[in-house]
Amino acid sequence: MAIGVFDSGIGGLTIHHALVERFPKADFVFLGDQANVPYGGRPGEEIVELTRRGCERLFAEGCDLVVLACNTAAAVALRRLQQTWIPGHRQALGRPVNVLGIIVPTIEAATGLPWEHEAERRGEKVEKLDVLAVFCTPATAASRVYEIEIDKRRQDVAVFTEPCPNLARMIEAGAPRADLAAEIEAHVKAVTTRIGRAPDRAILGCTHYEIVGDLFRAALKPGTPLIHQPQATAEALAAYLERHPEFRTGDAGTRRFLTTGKPGAQHALVETFWGAPLSFEPA
């Protein structure tokens, strides 16, 4: 039994890295749907179906739990799959399985409040507004999940979402750093102009962006805190597993990497981030 980690491509490795460090003994299977990356510009129903297929594949590999290490899939597909597909699939497999996302832990980290908390003090005077920029794919931006869920919990946080339509594709293709830096600078500038000043904090709301987190840090006002999605997800998974011992994670420490795209090594940007050579099997 193992923990499955799913993304449209290599971005999910940023979450995977934190999970592997947090659960060194667990068995992991990573799946990148690189034949279909990027998801961020696709219609919602396509994202749901691609995500469902990815999860099905990981369950077939023996995973009990699948973490959607992809904001786009989590924002668009997670609730649908949990409501309409997982219950029947659980029955078909005859074992407990589930799919978890990364947005809930990120919002908990951004608000400093547990998910169950919703603001009761509407109408109270806000002394100081905390402006939060979210960089993400167009599909995540269109879902408005960060605005809606943060607004429900914190009256003193204003969310400005900046869709970055090219960035995941460029990172996936291993674009030159100078091109990535220029693209990121343009988005930081665009959101800063829209806000009217620099944001106080930021979320890299697409797992691919963490691979070039240093370029975001360089483009944002020095010292702007970033909410760390991989860390938040690892802590949330630890708490979930504690509450749900029925999900088995394995104990041999195996790591498998599957791709629907080109098997073998990934480009240098990924290996530098991961810190070791990686070889992908065909999915």
For ligand DGL, the closer of residues 63 and 206 by Cβ is: 206
- In whole angstroms, the minimum distance from the beta carbon of 140 to ligand DGL comes to 6
Whose structure tokens read 């169950």? Answer: 116
| Residue nearest ligand DGL, Cβ-based | 40
Binding site for ligand DGL (CB under 6 A): 7-9, 11, 37-40, 70-72, 137, 140, 168, 206-208
Six-digit token pair at 139?
């599909």
DSSP 28: E
- In whole angstroms, the minimum distance from the beta carbon of 163 to ligand DGL comes to 10
- In whole angstroms, the minimum distance from the beta carbon of 55 to ligand DGL comes to 15
Exposure string of 174-204, with b = 16+ CB inside 10 Å and e = fewer, is: ebeeeebbebbeebbeebbeebeeebbbbbb
Q: Check 55, 70, 136, 164 and give the catalytic one.
A: 70
Q: Is 206 known to be catalytic? A: yes
Sign of CA dihedral 67, 71, 76, 79: positive
Six-digit token pair at 13?
């490795």
- In whole angstroms, the minimum distance from the beta carbon of 139 to ligand DGL comes to 7
Q: Check 55, 63, 164, 206 and give the catalytic one.
A: 206
Q: Is 136 known to be catalytic? A: no
Exposure string of 132-144, with b = 16+ CB inside 10 Å and e = fewer, is: bbbbbbbbbbbbe
Indicate the residue type of 116.
E
CB atoms within 10 A of CB 104: 18
For ligand DGL, the closer of residues 37 and 270 by Cβ is: 37
For ligand DGL, the closer of residues 14 and 111 by Cβ is: 14
Give the active site residues.
70, 206
